[in-house]
Amino acid sequence: MKTFDLIVIGSGAGLNVASAAVERGLSVAVVEDGPLGGTCLNRGCIPSKIVIHSAEVAETIRRAKEFGLQASLQHVNFKFVTDRANKTVDADARNIEKGVRSTSKETLFKGKGRFIDKHTIRVAGKTIRGKKIVIAAGARPFIPPIEGLDEVPYMTSTEALRQTKLPKSLVIIGGGYIGVELGHFYSALGCKVTIIQRGPLLVPREDKEVAGLITKLWENKILLNASATKVQKKGKNVLVTVKIGNKTRKITGEKLLVATGVVPNSDTLDLEKAGIKTDKRGFIKVDKYMRTNVRNIWALGDIAGIYLFRHSANLEADYVTNNILSRKKAVDYYPMPHAVFTSPQIAGVGLTEQECLEQKKKYTVGKAYYKNTGKGLALNEKHGFVKILADKDEILGCHIIGPEASILLHEVLIAMKASRKKALKILRNTVHVHPALNEVVQRAAYRS
């Protein structure tokens, strides 16, 4: 049995820790069952954004008449769209594996790793020990207990990004981030999409005005306050029984996508044999240094469940690396942003207005619409806005819905990071290019 200075379980953000340890001269074992690169590279943010760009181009073509141009979308080569994404990420995954295998200090074990005790892992028929261990094994799609679901073909986000034929119709169970991103992708390319959403709003974790706007704009594609109670085959299609209040509807789709959140992969690791504690949802419990309750074992990324973003996992990996190799320091998440690459695009940071109310915060609201700026007028943007929640000059939260929301948010992030107590003043006093889209952020700051 070989002993390593460090074992890393999972090859997403966990590879950041592994690489840093190798550079310091430590012997490292990487345990990974699937292709290297983790969820983000192989079945998440990278391939989804590549295919979604095709949807954005399709939308631009359809809107050409608004700008005095005659254009139409003649054909969708759906296989080309998805192949473009998957060939790219598959090549990247192979290159990452090649890089790991080429390093004498790093050993790759392909297979599912399971704990035997606090320092010992069994993988691919081999037993290895680690003086220190980092668990970055991620999460997987949650499959709800719907009658008949195990008897019909359905997709999760993984399969939805690997299709080679555009279906005529798609039923999506779940109106969260994954549901609206993939709903946008399929719909923009010509598929009839129906989203079944349990609550009254799409993306309900967003600020109430943002969630309200996208729900209104998507009203012809969604069933609200609805629950899928049964699925069954109907010829070549899938029939979904939906309960809305006291009424029942039946929705038919050529394809079915389940997008109801994720569950951590902690149940695949035999954590109990190492004495590692999890919370009631299965996420590994960690402290502010990303340490588990077991000495010399850390956890990061989706499996720790603090934030379910790749950029937060990368941040945690940086801190875990430092905490293992040098000076111990608590993770500083402030400010932690997110973005939803749907249509319209959504981005946010900090508290939503409903959270401000729940926490009884003193706050003012500054709101500015794209259409009231020069560039917004040029884009013919009718609905988008920036909303800032502030207490004096401190930005408590910022929420954007509209073109390039994910980019515009970064202006707010830099201000918040530069000075927590003076972020609003920074936005107000910074000279903005005119007419640039960023002016809408400054105008929201002036209204706060």
Active site residues: 434
Maximum Cα–Cα distance for the chain, whole Å? 71
Q: What angle do CA 40, 329, 409 make, to 5 degrees?
A: 45
Residue 417 has φ and ψ, to the nearest 5°, of -70, -35
Q: Which residues, in sequence order, are CB contacts of 381 under 8 Å at separation 6+?
A: 370, 371, 402, 403
Q: Are 302 and 311 in contact (CB under 8 A)?
A: no
Report the SS3 class of residue 396. Answer: strand
Instruction: Find out whether 17 and 136 touch, Cβ atoms under 8 Å.
Output: yes
Beta-strand ranges (E) seen in 190-323 are 192-196, 222-223, 226-234, 237-244, 247-253, 255-258, 262-264, 297-299
SS3 sequence, 70-124?
CCCCCCCCHHHHHHHHHHHHHHHHHHHHHHHHCCCCEEEEECCCEEEECCEEEEC
Rounded alpha-carbon distances, angstroms, from residue 238 to 182, 230, 241, 252? 18, 10, 10, 6
| Cβ atoms 268, 112 nearer than 8 A | yes
